[in-house]
Amino acid sequence: MAAQDLVAYVARNLVDDPDAVVVEVTTGPDGTVIELHVAEDDMGKVIGRNGSVAKALRTLLKVMSARDGEAVSLEIS
């Protein structure tokens, strides 16, 4: 499973409006950046209390990137 697929799967199962979830991938010299866009009303669900859900997503991406040998970061908007 690719990193962007994992992010999309988790986000779609967290939010009330899964059709509004958009995942964009940008590859640059510093690695891959995954941008997660959700509906404004669902932003709190994706970030979580004190950023706990966002931290968990970033931890999963860190594990996947270590396995694949490339840097991956997550931006939520």
List the pLDDT tens digit at each of the 77 positions of the chain.
688 999 999 999 999 999 999 999 999 888 899 999 999 999 999 999 999 999 999 999 999 888 888 899 999 99
Q: In this predicted structure, what is the pLDDT of residue 1?
A: 63
pTM, 2 dp: 0.88
Q: In this predicted structure, what is the pLDDT of residue 27?
A: 92
Q: How many domains does the chain have?
A: 1
Residue written as token pair 């997660």? 36
Domain around 67: 3-76
Q: In this predicted structure, what is the pLDDT of residue 28?
A: 86
Residue written as token pair 């991956």? 72
CATH of the domain at 32: 3.30.300.20
